[in-house]
Chain A
């Protein structure tokens, strides 16, 4: 019953989306029709989503999707998370989030420019029709299984983790959020030319939405990386896995977009480039969905492997690109402001934002190349290859290090042109402090770690310079409100992130050792004793719990560490649960790999790791997200629209 209700609601949403597309794009459509369609579609999707969640909570094993991802033993929280634990449900979540963004964006833009908002609703309706057709005909979560199964297959144990509950929804909020700038730009080109002298409300309106999408995407990626670190990755935090790249590419495009949007809003320049970036960001999100969901990739995330799904998604990506760029090339002028735009020199704030954009887009392109090259080779029958992490490390480094410099200098520059003597005077303190850091950092590294690698020194000095510059600049402009503080937070986040990446890549230690019960080994400056293994029982798994005692110099009491080896019945897949002692300047990581002999009472292979400053990696990303969120609440974006 609940399955039919959900299915019906999904069909209703598709019909509503169709109405929304038509009502939004046809000039003679009755006013307000698109608004009703938007609401109906959102309600339908919400109902479908709730129906699927109810089916999961009740363990309705007449639905194929529930059978594949749930189980009587599965705790209720994970049953709800299992709604988006597989392909069909996660695509449903995608469309639900699309409806959510549509409701919010259309209502808020309608207050400023009703025609533009209606056209945007039309574009969003078309996107939604495409996605809902995809869900209904290739990935329907409400397909019945008759006769019903007795028991479900349960959720992949890797995914039975609190991280999974929040990772996909956050990621999708960000992914799908790129549709707002995309639809706004496309709708702008469908809307009538603005008469000269009228204010451009939509550019200012668009920036908070872009910032929110960026916030969600950043948090989603950070959460995924953190989850991989403690659950999956044997202590790695980024693997250059194609699926990770699929989320990184829209992130880089969004980061470029929100910088250039600020310039577009305040100076009126770079309007064509803004449009191109908005289209690119959304296309990359679609491409990401395609990569993850089509099964062309071999990865943890790629569970679906249905060629039909892949080709539909690929056709969608191609259509989006084709239509958008045709529109942009035909009507680029409508993106530009009607007033004359001020000229600027390359050495100015606008100039440095374009350098920032070149670097971000170039890194996005290199990630795209490394991700798609193996697929293209395979498709052309030129052999199966993969591109290893060293490629990405080698290529991203020369692109991201200059970005730190640009972020440090950029905010100090003035628009249009720079008064050099004044800039020197302002930057003097920053330069002195950075120079001091450049002297202190290598000495500190040698003192603590015994060696200072040149690359680490460069990375740390640039990060320190960025941090100093950001703090001093924010202090100077402290009355600038949320805009200034948002930028400062985000740039400080970049610096913190850079410190984390540099330290963990240069000074991380990884050791695999064989330990018998009673033996002691060293981990960083601590001693680690292995006391053997005890069996334990969890909610829906059996586990072998290792007992380790860690004694660090300066610590009052020894700490007990309990890494686990779990096995889930119904799946012979063992799971490694690591034990991590976390700290601001380093994590100590213990994971039990496998037993050496035939009995768990014997020796075990244990992986030990020291991860210096790894928390800074996620700390930095969270700061970036907070910065974007803060900037979105700037007064200029909240101010009521004057009807003059």
Chain B
């Protein structure tokens, strides 16, 4: 093969590979995006047309019920709520009144059928998304630290 011919082949191969790769990547990306919404955004109908959702908020005190491995709770931004059902193991830091994120799909009744529940890090940590959700709804609960102050 002449060098010029070879270069042509290489360029052709690279272009083909790049096109194929770009196609695969955009397909994979599009079908695996998870959209983060607050309960308020869900109430406003923003969940329409989005299959996989992450909903973040506080776990409403008193809303947690369990029946064996099946459990349910309510996520709230202190204005709107989304009921969540989930089967499985909860993260260590999951607690009523604390921030949590549930990932899954909404059913026709507006319930989130969660496949994953996230609550992370240390007890003072609040996922930025949850904090934003609370700030947006203008109803930030008093934190324990605030109460402790004289």
Which residues on A are within 8 Å of B, measured CB to CB? 156, 234, 298-300, 303, 305, 343, 345-346, 358, 362, 366, 369-370, 373, 383-388, 390-391, 394-395, 398, 512-514, 571-576, 593-594, 596, 605, 607
Nearest Cβ in chain A — how far from B104, in angstroms? 12
Smallest Cβ distance from A150 to chain B, in angstroms?
Answer: 16
Residues in chain A near residue B9, CB distance under 8 A: 346
Bitwise, B27-40 to A at CB < 8 A (1) or not (0) is 01101111110000
On chain B, the residues within 8 Å of A345 by CB distance are 1, 6
Whether B28 contacts A605 by the Cβ 8 Å rule is no
Interface residues of B in 93-150 (CB under 8 A from A): 93, 120-123, 127-129
Among A298, A369, A575, the one with the most B-chain Cβ atoms within 10 Å of its Cβ is: A298
Given known contacts A384-B35, A384-B129, A387-B33, A512 and B92 CB-to-CB distance under 8 angstroms = no
A394 to B36, Cβ gap below 8 A? no
A384 contacts B36, C-beta separation under 8 Å: yes
Docked Cα-Cα span, A24 to B92, in Å, equals: 52
The chain B residue sitting closest to A592, CB to CB, is: B89
Question: Which residue from chain B places its CB closest to the CB of A606 in the assembled complex?
Answer: B89
A362-B21, A384-B36 known; A593-B90 Cβ under 8 A? yes
Supposing A398-B24, A512-B69, A573-B123 touch, asked if A386 and B34 sit within 8 A by C-beta, the answer is yes
**Tier of interface size on chain B:** 35 or more
Complex CA gap A512/B127 in Å reads 26
Known contacts A384-B36, A512-B89; decide if A298 and B129 are in contact (CB<8 Å): yes
Check B36–A605 contact: CB distance below 8 A: no
- Chain A interface main SS type: mixed
Interface set of B (CB-CB < 8 Å, partner A): 1, 3, 6, 9-10, 14, 17, 21, 24-25, 28-29, 31-36, 52, 54, 66, 68-69, 87-90, 92-93, 120-123, 127-129
Contacts beyond the supplied A369-B25, A387-B29, A395-B25: 14 A-B pairs with Cβ under 8 Å: A156-B121, A299-B120, A303-B121, A362-B17, A385-B34, A390-B32, A391-B31, A394-B24, A394-B28, A512-B87, A573-B122, A573-B123, A593-B90, A605-B69
Set of chain A residues within 8 Å of B129, measured between Cβ atoms: 298, 384
Give the nearest-CB partner of B10 in chain A: A346
User: Can you pick out 7 interface pairs between chain A and chain B where the beta carbons lie within 8 Å of each other?
Assistant: A156-B121, A298-B120, A298-B129, A345-B6, A358-B14, A386-B34, A387-B34
Task: Name the B residues within 8 Å of A574 (CB-CB).
Answer: 92-93
- Smallest Cβ distance from A530 to chain B, in angstroms? 15
Q: Is the CB of B127 within 8 A of A575?
A: no
B92 with A395: CB separation less than 8 A: no
Residues of B within 8 A of A370 (CB): 29
Report which of A298, A373, A576 forms a contact with B29, defined as CB distance below 8 A: A373
Q: How far is the CA of A594 from the CA of B90 in the complex (A)?
A: 8
Residue from B29, B92, B122 in contact with A156 in the complex, judged by beta carbons closer than 8 Å: B122
Complex CA–CA separation, A300 to B125 (angstroms): 10
Q: What 9 pairs across the A-B complex have the smallest Cβ distances?
A: A384-B36, A593-B89, A391-B32, A394-B28, A390-B32, A388-B32, A574-B92, A386-B34, A572-B123
B133 to A, closest residue via Cβ: A384
Instruction: Assess whether B89 is in contact with A386, with CB atoms less than 8 Å apart.
Output: no
- What residues of A have a CB within 8 angstroms of the CB of B66 in the complex? 596
